[in-house]
Structure 1
Amino acid sequence: MAAEHALTAREAAVKAAKAKEEADVTAREAAAVVLRLFDNDAELVSELLGVPAEELEREAKPVTAARAKEIIESLRARAERPRTTRIRKPRADVADAASSTSGTPAPVVTADGSRADAA
């Protein structure tokens, strides 16, 4: 049982380490993208984000310009796609439609909690 617990804990640690690495890569890429979008003006981006300029530059440094450009292009393409939205009916309309199509009157609850016919 202890070995199983140790194995489970190790697997959880490996998953957490992988998630942390993925988050670190995403953060580095985001820093590179935002700097590229603002013409590498680290001071301006630093003020906007409240992050020291040196930290932004350090984070963005390992990301290639090609990767940053690729991310920017994918974001632009995603922004240009029309969003698919469903038109939702208000709940009152749905409830009214259901009661009007059923053919049987809805029960009415009286003040004492008993039911009475609506007709």
Structure 2
Amino acid sequence: MEALQAKTRETAAARVLATRDAATKAAEAKEKAEVEAREAAAAALRLYENDAELLAGLLDVPAEELEREAKPVTAARAKEVIEDLRRHAARPRIRRSPASRINPSPSSTGAPPTASTPPTRPAPDGSRADAV
């Protein structure tokens, strides 16, 4: 009985530590997200020439809230965020072609394996040609 009691206490203590750790990580993530939201609001206001009413209408957020969020962000930090946005916007987009995606195997689709005919593709003259 004492062994069970000791194991229960040990499990309870481990749960407390794990829960406290998770709460700490969640609080840090929340703080980081709030900082990023304030910085984004400040950058957006600068990009919209401090027209809080226009931006509020676009975002469907009260203008006072945007201004309140942006207020603690320094102008220098807002400029850094804008530069990051510009660098991100200037990067070329990488698009994958449909052929580069992995096709599921017949066994993963649930269909029984069968002999299939090779795929065909149109010939340059518009007629169908055999698969290569």
TM range (shorter): 0.7 to 0.9
Q: Deviations over 1:16-50 (max 9, x none)?
A: 10010011001101110110110001111111111
User: CA separation in 2, counterparts of 1:76 and 1:26?
Assistant: 16
Aligned-residue identity in percent: 64
Determine the structure 1 residue equivalent to 2:14: 4
**SS of 2:99's equivalent?**
coil
1:22 aligns with 2:32: yes
Instruction: Return the alpha-carbon distance in structure 2 between the equivalents of residues 37 and 67 of structure 1.
Output: 13
**Which residue in the other structure is 1:106 paired with?**
115
Give the secondary-structure state (helix, strand or coil) at the position aligned to 1:89. Answer: helix
Gaps of 5+ in 1: 95-104, 109-119
User: Any residues of structure 2 matched to 1:73-92 within 5 Å, and which?
Assistant: 73-89=83-99
Task: Report the aligned-residue RMSD.
Answer: 2.3
State the alpha-carbon separation in 2 of the partners of residues 59 and 2 from structure 1.
Answer: 40
Residues 90, 63 of structure 1: alpha-carbon distance in 2 compared, 3 angstrom cutoff: closer
User: Where does structure 2 lack aligned partners over 5 or more consecutive residues?
Assistant: 1-10, 104-113, 118-132
Runs of 4+ in 1 over 6 A off after TM superposition: none
For 2:13 and 2:100, how far apart are their aligned partners in 1?
A: 55
- Residue 49 of structure 2 aligns with an amino acid whose one-letter code is D
- Partner of 1:44: helix, strand, or coil? helix
Alignment coverage as a number of residue pairs: 96
Query: Is 1:59 aligned to 2:60, yes or no?
Result: no
Equivalent-residue separation in structure 1 for 2:97 and 2:58 (angstroms): 36
Task: Give me the TM-score of the superposition, normalised by structure 1.
Answer: 0.72
